[in-house]
Structure 1
């Protein structure tokens, strides 16, 4: 007997695995944002306590680099969180696993490797 499949071609068990994967990755990403935000706040606080001149003080360049690095990581984490929220919303609307470009199914293995994928392999290569 075959497992019942959704309109996207996933069995109920596969859909549960994908939902759990997205949810776990979302929790991990929110935690990463919290940690990075604390790191950002610490850098800003430390810089405020010391009169550094980023241009002329050897320590200033390091602080500026750290601040830029943490900001970049924060931006990436927030973008990933938005993509995860988009994927979860698509899952609720029964649109998850369907290519946003051509409408073909996105293979389960692609979604397991890249849960926020919005395109099939063929469209991703275009």
Structure 2
């Protein structure tokens, strides 16, 4: 197996994990939606947990973040297919393997990422 195969396997694994997270979040949102439709829409604090509005907001935030991360994985898979995976989109330098192991969907080297943030 070459580096490309290992990268592809890692990206596909991350995609599966993220799809599982998205499914779980969607199921939790469905549960909150069902509770809210039952006339229990609250903004009162539930002593056993967060108010429904807070829980809804938290879950929606998680959902949006997961969708963003999935899009980043898809972009990285496209880069891999086109031979540009591991190349910084800003400066064209190689992204170190260690960085790709930690952030497999990254498209910037450390220097360019530091300047952007």
Q: Note whether the superposition's TM-score is higher than 0.5.
A: yes
* Alignment of 1:88 onto 2:116: no
Query: Any stretches of 5+ residues in structure 2 without a counterpart?
Result: none
Decide which structure has the larger Cα Rg and report it: 1
From 83, 87, 100, give the equivalent of 2:89.
Answer: 100
- Give the TM-score normalised by structure 2: 0.90
- Give the TM-score normalised by structure 1: 0.83
Query: Any stretches of 5+ residues in structure 1 without a counterpart?
Result: 1-11
- Tell me what 1:123 maps to: 112
From 24, 27, 31, give the equivalent of 2:16.
Answer: 27
**Where in structure 1 do 4 or more consecutive aligned residues deviate above 3 Å?**
none
* Alignment of 1:64 onto 2:53: yes
Aligned length: 112
Higher relative contact order (CA 8 A, sep 6+): 1
Cα distance in 1, alignment partners of residues 6 and 93 from structure 2? 21
Q: Residues 86 and 92 of structure 1: is their aligned pair in 2 closer, same or farther, counting only changes over 3 Å? A: same
For the aligned residue pairs, the C-alpha RMSD in angstroms reads: 1.4
